């Protein structure tokens, strides 16, 4: 982003550290990322692959299995949501505002309108 004169969003610099007891789950997420389908956009990790990996590779079951599956699905949803927002062939963080933030909603809608106009040109 910096090579194109764009500043990374604040969230890029303020990333939380992965807690030591969750590193194994973080590693599992990245390993499972190799199972996603690629096409016009990046697809989710198939739930069948998540189940298979958690049961066969990590030998999880019961509550541990369900918790790990839920965390991986939530992380995956956030990840593909961020990556599938592309501007000028470059990943872009999705801008989010609360519906009660009137000025924020206006800013997001204006931004969407600007992007649509640029695409038509």
Q: How far is CA 22 from CA 5, 17, 33, 55, 109, in A?
A: 35, 10, 17, 17, 37
> pLDDT tens digits, residue range 43-99?
899 999 999 999 999 999 999 999 999 999 998 988 887 776 645 444 444 556 666
**Domain map (residue ranges) of the chain:** 19-84, 89-121
> pLDDT tens digits, residue range 7-44?
776 766 777 787 888 899 989 999 999 998 877 677 89
CB 108 within 8 A of CB 92: no
pTM for the whole thing?
Answer: 0.57
């Amino acid at each position: 982003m910096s090579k194109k004169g764009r500043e990374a969003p604040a969230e890029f610099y303020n990333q939380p550290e992965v807690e030591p007891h969750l590193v194994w789950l973080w590693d599992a997420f990245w390993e499972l990322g190799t199972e996603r389908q690629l096409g016009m956009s990046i697809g989710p990790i198939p739930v069948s692959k998540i189940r298979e990996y958690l049961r066969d590779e990590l030998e999880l079951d019961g509550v541990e299995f369900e918790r790990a599956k839920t965390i991986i699905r939530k992380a995956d949803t956030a990840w593909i949501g961020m990556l599938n927002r592309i501007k000028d062939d470059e990943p872009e963080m999705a801008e989010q505002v609360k519906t009660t933030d009137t000025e924020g909603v206006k800013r997001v809608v204006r931004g969407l309108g600007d992007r649509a106009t640029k695409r038509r040109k």
